[in-house]
C-alpha cells in the first residue's frame, strides 16, 4: 500500500513539476524596465503584437517629468502616480516618443473631458505576460486588460451608479494633430488618430492609426466632445462655444479635430462589468473592424488572455533553464519576453499593410514586420532570433527586402512604414548577411546583395550613408560631419558584411574590394592615445581632443552617443586586426581592461556592449570575460522596475542578458562564431527549428556552478575536450551538448 501511495505521489509531483517547468511565462515581470529610462510598459501585448495596452501616467500632475524629458519616450513611468487612461498602441524600449494614443478611460459620476480633472491615482497593480490590472482610486473601478495580436481587450468592473468609458484622442506622446471619431451605435465607435513624429521628425511624416471599439453593454447615453483651437475661421464659427469643450449628444454622427473624444455612459443599479475590445489597423477602419471580429468577436476576456498567455508560453519555452535562483529565471524570461515584442506585426488579419513611401496598400501571406531599430538590434537581437526563432527572422529579412522594393532603400530605423533615419550607419545589410550565413536562406539573396551594394556606393541622395564621398575618398568621415569616427566604424562593419556575403556568393573581386574598405578605421587610430580620433578635411587630427567627451549623451565632435573610449574597440569584423593595431595582445588587454577600471564602459548603450567578451580573443585572458559578464549581468539586470541598465532599445539590452546568462555571445561579424562565457544556469536547453537546423536541441550544461564558481576550468563539446573559448553556429545547431566545468579561481 505504502509503495503504491509513494508511486502515486511521485507521479503527481513529477506531473506538477513538469507543468510548472512548462509554464515559463509565469516568470515574466513586465514591470522590469519601467524605471531608470528602460522605456518598457507593463501592459499586455501578444508576441509581436500590433495592439498593446499601457497605463498612461505621463500627462499632468507629474514628478519625474519635470526633471528629465526622456521619460516622455514611453507612456508609463513606474515612479509616476497620476493615471489618465490606457493607450492602445505603444512602443517598447525606445529612446524617442511616438504612439501612446487612443486612450481608454473608465470614470464614474458626471462626464469630464479634461484629463487633469478625470485623472486619478491608482493601486493594486498586477502585471503578467498578456495581462495587466489596477484599481482606479478616485472611482473604485477595477480595470483588467489583455490583448490578441491586433486587438486590445479591456474589462472594467464598475460600482453601482453612473459610470462612463471615455476614449480620448487628444492625448498622446507626441504633438501630431488630426483625429476623427464616430459613434456607430450604442455599442460601437470607430475612428482614427494621426501619429508619427518619432524623434521629433517632421509632421509631414505623420500617418494614421485606425480603430474600432466594441462594448459588451449598450450605453444609456453617448456622445463626443471637441475642444476647438483659439482662432477665427470656418471651424470657430461652427463651434458656438469658442475655446471651451463642446459636448455633442446621442445624435452625433462624426467629429473631426485635434482634441476630440467620445464617452459611453451607463446607470448601473448594482456592480457591473463592461468589456471593451479595440481593434487597430494602419490601413483602414474596415480592416480594424475585421481584425477585431476575426481575432476576438466570439471570445471572452478570459479566453483571449488564455490564448495569449499560451502563445507567450510556447515561444518562451523554446529556451528552458535549470538551476539559478527565482530572480535569475524572472530576469531571464522577462528579457526573452522583451526580445519578442519588436519588430512587431504591421499587416492586418487579411494581409493588408501600408507600403513604405508609395501610398499603396500591399498584401502578404506571411508577416510584414515593422519597428526596425537596426542601429541597436543588428548587434545581438537578430542573431538571437536566427538561433531560436529562425522563421521569424526569415520574415524580418523578407520585410526589409519588401521595403527595398517599395522605397528603393533598405531600412535604417523604420517605424510603421515610415523611415525615421534615426542614428547612423547602414545596418540592414549586416543583419541580412548574418541571417544568410546562419543557414536561413529562404529569401532573395541576390536582391539583398544588390540593395546592399547600392547603399554602399551611391554618393548623391543616399539617405543611408551621408558623408559617403569623404568615406570613399579618404576612408573616413571628417570633423564637421555627424559622428565622423563612429559613423566610419559603422560603414566599415557594413562593408565587411558585403565582403562576407560576396565571398559566399562567389564574387571574389567584390570580396577583396569591400574587405579593404572595411579596414579604413585604422586611419583614425592615434598611437599616442591608443584610441580612435577624428580627423579634419586636410587629414590632420581634430583639436582639441577630449577622449572622455560624449559620455552620457553629452556633445562631442567624433562620436554618436558615446566617447572615444566607448568606441575604442568597436570593430566586430576585425578583432584580431584591432589587437595588432593596438600593439599586440598585452597592450590590447591593458587598454581594454583600462576601459572597465576607469568606469568608461557603458552597459546602457550599444557601441561597447560586446566589449566584456573581447578578452576571449587573447589567450590566457579569457577569465576576465567570465568574471565581467557575471558581474555585469548581476549589477545591471535585476528583478525590479529599474532592473535594466537604461533604454531597452527594442530588446537589444534584453538580448544581451539572454545570451550572457546562457553562456554564449555573438561578438563578431561574418564568421558565425559565439564567444563562451560563464552561464548563470546549470542547464540551458534550446529547442531548434527542424526546418532550418539539423539538431533537435542545443544544450549548455555546467558542473559545480555557483555564484562563486564563475570561472571555466574545462570545456567539453559532445563529450570531447574543446580547446579555446569559442564555438561556431553550425556546431551548435547540429545538436551540440556543451559542458562547462566551473571553479572559483581563474584558469589562466
The share of the chain scoring above pLDDT 90, in percent, equals 86
Note whether 119 and 83 are within 8 A (CB). Answer: yes
Cis peptide leading into 343, omega within 30 of 0? yes
pLDDT, one tens digit per residue, over 274-286 is: 999 999 999 999 9
E strand spans, 512-598: 525-526, 531-532
Same domain, yes or no, for 105 and 239?
Answer: yes
Tell whether 230 is covered by a domain.
yes
Q: What is the pLDDT of residues 512-533, one digit of tens each?
A: 999 999 999 999 999 999 999 9
Tens of pLDDT along 587-611? 999 999 999 999 999 999 999 999 9
HEC per residue, 162-229:
EEEEEEECCCCCCCCCCEEEEEEECCEEEEEEEECCHHHCCHHHCEEEEEEEEECCCCCEEEEEEECC
Please state the pTM of the whole predicted model: 0.94
| pLDDT tier for residue 510 given thresholds of 50, 70 and 90 | very high
Q: How confident is the model at residue 204 (pLDDT cuts 50, 70, 90)?
A: low
Residues near 385 by beta carbon (within 8 Å), at least 6 away in sequence: 339, 392, 393, 396
User: Percentage of residues in the chain with pLDDT exceeding 70?
Assistant: 91
- Quote the pLDDT of residue 254: 80
Q: What CATH number did the domain enclosing 388 receive?
A: 1.20.1050.60
* Measured CA angle at 187 (ends 184, 189), to 5 deg: 40
Asked whether residue 302 falls in the same domain as residue 391, the answer is no
Please indicate, yes or no, whether residues 38 and 157 belong to a single structural domain of this protein: yes
Domain membership of residue 281 as a residue range: 31-313
Q: How far apart are CA 356 and CA 715, in angstroms?
A: 48
Instruction: Determine the Cα–Cα distance for residues 596 and 128; give it in Å rounded to an integer.
Output: 36
Considering only CA atoms, which of 78, 690, 27 is closest in space to residue 338? 27
Q: Check whether residue 288 and residue 380 sit in a common domain.
A: no
* 68 and 122 fall within a common domain: yes
Sequence-distant (6+) residues with CB within 8 A of 541 are: 526, 533, 534, 535
pLDDT tens-place string over residues 55-81: 999 987 654 444 444 446 789 999 999
Choosing from 291, 313, 335, the residue where a domain stops is: 313
Q: Which three cell numbers stand for residue 583?
A: 600593439
Q: What are the grid coordinates assigned to 166, written together?
A: 471615455
pLDDT at 22: 61
Q: What is the pLDDT of residue 102?
A: 97
Q: Which of 657, 662, 683, 664 is nearest to 727 (CA)?
A: 664
What would the grid cell of residue 484 be?
565622423
Judgement on whether residues 454 and 506 belong to the same structural domain of the protein: no
CATH number at residue 546: 1.20.1610.10
**pLDDT tens profile 606-633:** 999 999 999 999 999 999 999 999 999 9
State the total domains in the chain.
Answer: 3
pLDDT of residue 54: 98
Whether 39 and 150 map to the same domain: the answer is: yes
Q: Kindly report the backbone phi and psi dihedral angles of residue 322, in degrees, each rounded to the nearest multiple of 5, phi listed first.
A: -130, 150
**Cβ pair 647, 39 in contact under 8 A:** yes
Residue 454 in any domain: the answer is yes
The more confident residue out of 3 and 231 is: 3
> Do 381 and 494 sit in the same domain of this protein?
no
Q: Kindly state whether residue 660 falls inside one of the protein's structural domains.
A: no
Q: Does pLDDT of 731 surpass 90?
A: yes
Question: What pLDDT score does 734 carry?
Answer: 96
Residues 6+ apart with CB under 8 A from 587: 530
Q: In the beta sheet, which residues pair with residue 392? A: none
What pLDDT, on a 0 to 100 scale, did the predictor assign at position 200?
67
More confident residue, 86 or 97: 86
**Residue 710 pLDDT more than 60?**
yes
Question: Does any domain span residue 426?
Answer: yes
545 vs 154, 532, 568, 577, CA distance in Å? Answer: 55, 11, 14, 25
- Say what the pLDDT of residue 63 is: 45
Q: What is the pLDDT of residue 174?
A: 80
Sign of CA dihedral 449, 450, 451, 452: positive
Residues 6+ apart with CB under 8 A from 727: 664, 673, 674, 676, 717, 736, 738
* pLDDT value for 231: 32
Look at 636 and 11; give whichever has higher pLDDT: 636
Q: Does the pLDDT at position 128 exceed 80?
A: yes
Does residue 514 form part of some domain?
Answer: yes
C-alpha span between 407 and 345 (Å, rounded):
19
Amino acid at each position: 500500500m505504502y509503495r503504491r501511495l509513494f508511486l502515486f505521489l511521485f507521479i503527481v509531483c513529477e506531473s506538477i513539476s513538469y507543468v510548472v517547468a512548462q509554464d515559463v511565462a509565469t516568470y515574466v515581470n513586465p514591470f522590469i524596465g519601467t524605471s531608470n529610462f528602460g522605456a518598457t510598459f507593463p501592459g499586455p501585448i501578444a508576441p509581436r503584437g500590433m495592439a498593446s495596452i499601457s497605463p498612461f501616467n505621463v500627462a499632468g500632475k507629474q514628478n519625474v517629468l519635470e526633471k528629465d524629458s526622456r521619460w516622455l519616450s514611453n507612456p508609463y513611468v513606474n515612479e509616476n502616480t497620476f493615471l489618465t487612461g490606457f493607450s492602445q498602441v505603444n512602443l517598447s524600449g525606445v529612446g524617442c516618443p511616438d504612439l501612446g494614443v487612443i486612450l481608454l478611460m473608465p470614470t464614474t459620476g458626471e462626464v469630464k473631458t479634461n484629463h487633469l480633472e478625470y485623472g486619478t491615482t491608482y493601486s493594486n497593480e498586477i502585471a503578467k505576460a498578456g495581462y495587466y490590472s489596477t484599481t482606479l482610486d478616485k472611482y473604485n473601478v477595477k480595470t483588467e486588460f489583455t490583448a490578441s495580436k491586433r486587438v486590445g481587450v479591456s474589462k472594467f468592473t464598475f460600482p453601482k451608479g453612473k459610470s462612463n468609458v471615455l476614449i480620448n484622442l487628444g492625448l498622446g506622446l507626441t504633438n501630431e494633430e488630426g483625429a476623427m471619431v464616430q459613434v456607430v451605435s450604442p455599442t460601437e465607435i470607430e475612428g482614427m488618430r494621426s501619429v508619427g513624429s518619432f524623434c521629433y521628425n517632421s509632421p509631414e511624416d505623420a500617418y494614421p492609426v485606425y480603430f474600432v471599439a466594441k462594448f459588451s453593454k449598450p450605453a444609456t447615453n453617448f456622445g463626443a466632445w471637441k475642444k476647438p483651437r483659439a482662432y477665427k475661421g470656418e471651424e470657430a464659427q461652427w463651434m458656438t462655444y469658442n475655446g471651451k469643450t463642446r459636448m455633442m449628444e446621442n445624435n452625433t454622427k462624426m467629429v473631426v479635430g485635434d482634441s476630440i473624444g467620445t464617452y459611453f455612459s451607463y446607470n448601473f443599479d448594482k456592480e457591473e462589468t463592461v468589456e471593451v475590445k479595440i481593434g487597430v489597423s494602419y490601413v483602414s477602419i474596415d480592416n480594424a473592424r475585421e481584425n477585431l471580429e476575426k481575432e476576438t468577436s466570439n471570445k471572452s476576456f478570459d479566453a483571449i488572455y488564455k490564448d495569449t498567455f499560451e502563445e507567450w508560453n510556447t515561444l518562451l519555452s523554446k529556451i528552458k533553464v535549470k538551476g539559478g535562483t527565482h530572480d535569475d529565471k524572472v530576469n531571464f524570461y522577462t528579457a526573452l519576453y522583451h526580445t519578442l515584442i519588436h519588430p512587431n506585426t504591421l499587416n492586418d488579419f487579411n494581409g493588408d499593410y501600408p507600403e513604405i513611401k508609395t501610398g499603396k496598400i500591399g498584401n502578404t501571406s506571411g508577416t510584414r514586420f515593422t519597428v526596425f531599430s537596426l542601429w541597436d538590434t543588428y548587434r545581438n537581437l537578430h542573431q538571437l532570433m536566427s538561433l531560436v526563432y529562425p522563421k521569424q527572422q526569415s520574415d524580418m529579412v523578407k520585410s526589409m527586402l519588401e521595403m527595398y522594393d517599395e522605397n528603393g532603400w533598405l531600412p535604417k530605423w523604420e517605424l510603421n512604414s515610415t523611415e525615421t533615419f534615426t542614428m547612423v550607419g547602414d545596418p540592414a545589410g549586416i543583419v541580412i548577411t548574418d541571417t544568410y550565413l546562419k543557414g536561413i536562406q529562404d529569401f532573395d539573396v541576390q536582391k539583398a546583395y544588390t540593395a546592399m551594394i547600392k547603399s554602399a556606393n551611391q554618393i548623391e541622395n543616399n539617405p543611408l550613408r551621408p558623408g559617403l564621398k569623404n568615406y570613399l575618398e579618404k576612408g573616413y568621415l571628417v570633423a564637421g560631419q555627424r559622428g565622423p569616427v563612429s559613423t566610419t566604424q559603422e560603414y566599415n562593419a557594413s562593408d565587411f558584411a558585403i565582403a562576407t556575403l560576396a565571398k559566399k556568393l562567389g564574387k571574389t573581386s567584390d570580396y577583396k574590394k569591400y574587405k579593404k574598405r572595411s579596414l579604413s578605421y585604422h586611419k583614425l587610430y592615434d598611437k599616442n592615445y591608443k584610441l580612435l580620433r577624428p580627423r579634419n578635411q586636410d587629414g590632420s587630427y581634430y583639436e582639441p581632443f577630449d577622449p572622455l567627451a560624449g559620455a552620457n549623451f553629452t556633445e562631442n565632435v567624433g562620436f554618436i552617443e558615446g566617447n572615444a573610449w566607448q568606441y575604442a574597440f568597436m570593430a566586430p569584423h576585425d578583432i584580431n586586426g584591432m589587437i595588432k593595431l593596438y600593439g599586440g595582445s598585452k597592450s590590447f588587454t591593458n587598454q581594454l581592461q583600462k576601459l572597465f577600471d576607469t568606469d568608461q564602459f557603458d552597459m546602457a548603450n550599444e557601441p561597447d556592449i560586446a566589449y566584456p567578451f573581447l578578452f576571449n580573443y587573447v589567450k590566457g585572458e579569457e577569465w576576465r570575460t567570465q568574471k565581467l559578464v557575471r558581474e555585469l549581468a548581476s549589477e545591471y539586470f535585476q528583478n525590479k522596475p529599474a532592473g535594466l541598465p537604461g533604454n531597452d532599445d527594442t530588446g537589444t539590452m534584453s538580448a544581451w542578458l539572454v545570451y550572457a546568462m546562457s553562456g554564449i555571445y555573438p561578438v563578431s561579424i561574418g564568421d558565425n562564431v559565439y564567444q563562451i562565457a560563464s552561464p548563470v544556469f546549470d542547464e540551458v536547453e534550446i529547442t531548434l527549428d527542424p526546418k532550418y537546423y539539423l539538431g533537435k536541441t542545443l544544450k549548455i550544461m555546467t558542473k559545480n556552478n555557483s555564484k562563486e564558481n564563475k570561472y571555466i576550468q574545462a570545456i567539453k563539446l559532445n563529450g570531447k575536450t574543446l580547446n579555446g573559448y569559442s564555438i561556431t553556429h553550425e556546431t551548435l545547431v547540429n545538436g551540440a551538448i556543451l559542458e562547462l566545468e566551473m571553479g572559483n579561481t581563474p584558469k589562466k
